[in-house]
Amino acid sequence: MSKYFTSILFLLLSIGAFAQDDEDDMPSNKPVSSDSTSQLRLGFDISRPVFNALIPEKKSYEIELDFYGKKEIYYVLEGGWGSGKLDSTYLRYSNSNTFFKAGINKGILQRLFPGDWDMAFIGLRYGIGFINRSDASYLIVDSTWGNSSGIIPGKNLTAHWFELTGGVRVELFKGLFAGWNIRGKFILNGKQLKELPPYYIAGYGKGDKASIFDFNFYLDYAIRWKRKHVKTIAPKED
């Protein structure tokens, strides 16, 4: 799975490099920048409610917040909450969690004009999830030694993971964006989750998977303002 994701990221980089080369070959096309403008953008993953309805044993809600720095760098915070439930004849338990992610996105295409906020990007994330797993009831069916059942006590867990991501954002109207992310997620503390892992970790995915490929579709709204430039006055010489 990670090989496919890496290939997609390389494809995005290649597209960005190709577009950059084409623009550099055109003498009338000068690089433009929006470094004099700040942007704060808030978004909601509108695909999650759809998946929640289709797969009721998995629930997840995700939001994102990014701030434009300089040189096509965006500082990103993400968060959300959700739950998972396994209800079979032989094992029943549930879990719920909140999660937070922090990282950066790097735009890979040159702007067409200073007010052009459409973007393709690659990015990195660190994620952490705070999980509450309920008591689990189990049933073991054995025709030789007889059936047995019991309860595994609930437990509070913490999951850590790392993400590689890429995607696009397109400004549909002033301040209103739509776009998607593809993500490769890699758990960092899988050994601590092996004993009855959470069925579903919102923000990550199946708790028993060391790596996961995921997709988000966002609607975002952005506000912008001009940056203040502070002039420095050199001291007069005596």
Spatial separation of the C-alpha atoms in residues 101 and 124, rounded to whole Å: 10
Q: Are 109 and 83 in contact (CB under 8 A)?
A: no
- Do the domain assignments include residue 231? no
- Range in 72-76, 109-113, 189-193, 225-229 with the lowest mean pLDDT: 225-229
Q: Does the structure show a pLDDT above 60 at 1?
A: no
Overall domain count for the chain: 1
- Do the domain assignments include residue 88? yes
What are 19-34's pLDDT values in tens digits? 444 444 444 455 677 7
Spatial separation of the C-alpha atoms in residues 129 and 201, rounded to whole Å: 7
pLDDT tier, 18 (very low <50, low <70, confident <90, very high otherwise):
very low
- Do the domain assignments include residue 111? yes
- Do the domain assignments include residue 154? yes
- Please give the residue range of the domain that contains residue 139: 2-24+42-225
- Do the domain assignments include residue 235? no
What are 46-56's pLDDT values in tens digits? 999 999 999 99
Instruction: Give the pLDDT of residue 121.
Output: 98
Q: Reduce the secondary structure of 126-159 to three states and give it as a string.
A: EEEEEEEECCEEEEECCCCCCCEEEEECCEEEEE
Spatial separation of the C-alpha atoms in residues 65 and 173, rounded to whole Å: 19
- Do the domain assignments include residue 32? no
CA 177 to chain centre: 17
Whole-angstrom CA distances from 147 to 20, 87, 90, 138, 151 are 67, 19, 11, 11, 14
- Do the domain assignments include residue 234? no
- Do the domain assignments include residue 236? no
Whole-angstrom CA distances from 233 to 229, 230, 236 are 13, 10, 9
What are 161-217's pLDDT values in tens digits? 999 999 999 999 999 999 999 999 999 999 989 889 999 999 999 999 999 999 999
Q: What is the mean pLDDT of the chain?
A: 86
CB atoms within 10 A of CB 217: 16
Rounded CA Rg of the chain: 23
Q: Phi and psi dihedrals of 48, rounded to 5?
A: -65, -45
